[in-house]
Structure 1
Amino acid sequence: MEWRNIYRGILMGISDIVPGVSGGTIAVVLGIYQRLIEAINGVLSREWKKHFAFLIPLGVGVLFALFTLANAIDWLFEHYPNQIQFLFIGLIIGIIPMLLKKANVSSTFGATHYSLFVLAAILVASMAFFQEGVSDAITTFDARTYVLLFLSGWLASSAMILPGISGSMLLLIVGMYPTFTYVLGDVIIQGLIPLALGIGFGLLVMSKIIRYFLTHYFYQMYALIIGLVVGSVVVVYPGFQPSFILNIISVALIGVGIYVAVLLGKLEHQG
């Protein structure tokens, strides 16, 4: 068991709670993105033990964050939303140089790669216009609710492992985010089962698609990933507040986020 993955999972779980931030982005920050895709793909292979040894501690960390830190993150997001989002902006900005280096942009990128980068950035940035899609939580459970929860889990997990695309944001857009947090926060078992099935199905399907493109179109895929990450800055950006002090704190937190991203990158590389 790679128990170090517990803290990685906690960081990914925290990011998945906040609309606009992608767990896939945090996986890139931590340097485990490609391993994550390989592990999800490998759960049904002969080397399933090795992949489960990677995924189980990661899943423990994610679940710990979702079930025990969700209320704390919700509180911070409710009272200091700008500061939390500026911190994540710093994290996102901090990983961009690492991505550029990994893709060896100066030597490998051509017109096709830059086109993919621009299209991906515009696609994600455009999600900023749909952030108001909030509705009340569904608290009655019937066949329709189970189908919606399964599809919501599928949608969220598919986006979750794509850097730059927030599963929580997509749920917010389709109006299922309040139901998602209600089921998790109150541990509604009859809601958690279809949600978990949808998440598992989405992870398996999307990971296979991503793995195929990383294997056959590595640099094109990285152009897409960099575009998704850059575009997510627009989605996360909350604007400034009337309070000068809070704005100073927000700007300072960008620096903190950049520092943390660089530090995590170095620690993971040394590890």
Structure 2
Amino acid sequence: MQWKNIYRGLFMGISDLIPGVSGGTIAFIMGIYDELLASISGFFSREWKKYIGFLLPLGIGIGIALLVFSKMIDYLLVNHHAPTQFFFMGLIIGVLPFITKHVNMKKNFKLQHFLIILLVGVALASLAFLKPTDTTPITVLTSANALKLFFAGWLGSMAMLLPGISGSFILLLLGVYSTAIGALSNLNLPIIAVIGAGVIVGFIVSSKVISFLLSNYTYLIFSVIIGLIIGSIFVIYPGVPEQGTEFVMSVLAFIVGLIVASLFSSPNKE
């Protein structure tokens, strides 16, 4: 068992609670993105036992984060929104040098790859101008809203695996973010189960698709991923805080985010 994946899962789970921050980006920061995709895809095959050691501790960490930190993240976003967002901006920006070195951008990227980065980045950044309004949280399942929650979980999980796209932001756009956070905070098991089923199906489908594309169109997909990561910075940018204390906290949080990303993406990490 790779028990160190518990703390990795904690970070991924916390990030997935925040609209605009991608668990896939965190997986990249910690250097487990390729193994994550391969393990999810391989788990749903005849050789599933090979991947238990990687996925089980990771799943435990993500589960703990979703259950334990949902209220804390909700509190931080409400009461310390800017510093929280700047911390994750530091994480996101901090991972870019690791990715560009990973694919040897200077050697392998051509003009079309940089154009893709620009187009994808602008497309995702444009989401910053959307003002999604979350609907009243669903607390009781019906056949109609169960279907909606299932497909919301499906789409959200597909976004979770792509660095730069936030599953939580997708849930927010679909109007079910407050439902998901409320269900986790209050342990509404029926709603958690329906959304979770959609998440599992989304993981199965998207992990195989992304793995195939990375294997056959490596630099094209990495240019898309880099564009998504750059664009996500604009999505979560909260603006410059007006209060002095909040501004200082935001600067410090941003620096801490950069340091954490640097530590996790270091080639000498355990």
TM bucket normalised to smaller: over 0.9
Supply the distance in 1 between the matched residues of 2:41 and 2:116 (Cα, whole angstroms): 25
Residue in structure 1 matched with residue 5 of structure 2 by the alignment: 5
Q: Which residue pairs with 1:38 in the alignment?
A: 38
User: Is 1:15 matched with 2:19?
Assistant: no
The residue aligned with 2:132 is: 132
CA distance in 2, matches of 1:190, 1:245: 42
Task: Give the residue type in structure 2 aligned to 1:259.
Answer: I
Q: Which TM-score applies when normalising by structure 1? A: 0.96
Structure-2 separation of matches of 1:133 and 1:36 = 32
1:180 corresponds in structure 2 to 180
1:115-138: per-residue Cα shift (whole Å, max 9, x none)? 221122112211112243222101
TM-score (norm 2): 0.97
Query: Given residue 253 of structure 1, which amino acid in structure 2 is its aligned partner?
Result: A
Report what 1:142 is aligned to.
142
Q: 1:139-175, CA deviations, whole angstroms, 9 ceiling, x for partnerless residues?
A: 2311011101101110110100100000111111111
> Following the alignment from structure 1 to structure 2, what is the Cα–Cα distance between the partners of residues 260 and 139?
37
> 1:51-74: per-residue Cα shift (whole Å, max 9, x none)?
121111101000000001111111
Gaps of 5+ in 2: none
1:121 aligns with 2:117: no
Instruction: Tell me which residue corresponds to 2:47.
Output: 47
Distance 2:149 2:183 in 1: 10
Partner in structure 2 of residue 27 of structure 1: 27
Task: Tell me which residue corresponds to 2:71.
Answer: 71
How many Å separate the matches in 1 of 2:127 and 2:51?
A: 33
Q: Distance in 2 between matches of 1:131 and 1:11?
A: 27
Task: Identify the range of structure 1 (48-57 vs 1-10) with the bigger mean alpha-carbon deviation.
Answer: 48-57
Matched, 1:170 2:132: no
Larger mean Cα displacement after TM superposition, 126-135 or 103-112? 126-135
Q: Is the 8 A contact 1:31 1:269 kept in 2?
A: no
Residue in 2 that maps onto 1:264: 264
**What secondary structure is seen at the aligned counterpart in 1 of 2:254?**
helix
1:201-240 alignment, distance < 5 Å: 201-240=201-240
Once the 2 structures are TM-superposed, how far is the Cα of residue 47 of structure 1 from its aligned partner? 2.7
**Higher mean C-alpha deviation, range 175-184 or range 8-17:** 175-184
Count of residue correspondences: 270
The one-letter code sitting in structure 2 at the alignment partner of 1:6 is I
Cα distance in 2 for residues equivalent to 1:257 and 1:68: 21
SS of 2:238's equivalent in the other structure is coil
The structural deviation recorded for 1:269 is: 4.3
- 2:69 aligns to what SS in structure 1? helix
More off after superposition, 47-56 vs 77-86: 47-56
The letter for the 2-side match of 1:257 is G
Q: Residue type matched to 1:121 in 2?
A: G
Distance 1:60 1:10 in 2: 8
Instruction: Please tell me the root mean square deviation across aligned C-alpha atoms, in Å.
Output: 1.2
Distance between the aligned counterparts of 2:52 and 2:100, measured in 1?
30
**Structure 2 equivalent of residue 56 of structure 1:** 56
1:183 CA drift (Å): 1.7
Amino acid at match of 2:169: M
String of CA shifts for 1:89-121, please: whole Å, max 9, x gaps. 011111110011011111111122112211221
